[in-house]
Amino acid sequence: MFEKEKNYSPNLEELKSHYRSVITLLGEDADREGLLKTPERVAKAMLNLTHGYRVDPHEVLLSAKFKEEYSQMVIVKDIDFFSLCEHHMLPFYGKAHVAYIPNGYITGLSKIARVVDIFSHRLQVQERMTLQIKQCIQDTLNPLGVMVVVEAKHMCMQMRGVEKQNSITTTSDFTGAFNQAKTREEFMNLIQHGSL
Ligand SMILES: [Zn+2]
């Protein structure tokens, strides 16, 4: 089973004052007109981009867990996501594809997308996000197998010119029935498409 995640309520005022300091430390005048409301806007934006810390993805899946004998692969593909890399706090974004093979229980399709949304709205690395989505579905639905594929572009690579500007990073993780190459292939064939 999984551990229930603890709740944390961030302090907007404190965040604002820190972002004001950051602006000043960057050599800007935090009091000039265009920047006056920036600390508040950035603080609110960051709270939104990290709202995933304040939602328990397990509960989201359990809230729509239905008994069902269907035992073929269920696929939710092309789930758009936006996340922040934890090393630079710059965006990485792309698509997640999720498949699972039910073992007596299914969940609402929109809940799968919600789980991606929750884990992506945290400071992340793509590898861990992929694993967490997989594990959350495995732990709550106990399916015969789960597979998650994530394709993303990382602004920390693109903006800083570290690597090729248009490179796409792909990660995948799976459990159970997806240990069979044939099952993975079936999923991969179904999500084949062009670029992001
Ligand atoms: Zn980064």
DSSP-H helix ranges across the chain: 12-25, 38-49, 57-62, 109-120, 126-141, 155-158, 181-191
Range 99-123 average pLDDT? 97
**How much distance in Å is there from the Cα of 38 to the middle of ligand 1?**
23
Point out which residues pair with 91 in neighbouring strands.
Answer: 84
Tell me the domain boundaries of the chain.
9-48, 56-190
**How much distance in Å is there from the Cα of 158 to the middle of ligand 1?**
10
Number of other CB atoms surrounding residue 63 within 10 Å: 11
Determine the pLDDT at residue 1: 47
Of the CATH numbers 2.60.120.10, 1.10.286.10, 1.10.1060.10, 1.10.1530.10, which one belongs to the domain with range 9-48?
1.10.286.10
Binding annotation: 85, 88, 156
Binding annotation for Zn(2+): 85, 88, 156
**How much distance in Å is there from the Cα of 12 to the middle of ligand 1?**
25
**How much distance in Å is there from the Cα of 149 to the middle of ligand 1?**
19
Q: What are phi and psi of 89, to 5 degrees?
A: 55, 40
Determine the pLDDT at residue 120: 98
pLDDT digits (tens, 9 = 90+) for 2-48: 555 566 678 999 999 999 999 999 999 999 999 999 999 999 999 99
Residue 79, Ramachandran bin (φ over 0: left; ψ between -120 and 50: alpha; else beta): beta
- The pLDDT of residue 196 is above 70: no
**Hey, which residues are catalytic here?**
85-88, 126, 154, 156
- Identical fold at 9-48 and 56-190? no
**How much distance in Å is there from the Cα of 125 to the middle of ligand 1?**
8
Domain 56-190 fold is GTP Cyclohydrolase I, domain 2 (3.30.1130)
CB 145 within 8 A of CB 166: no
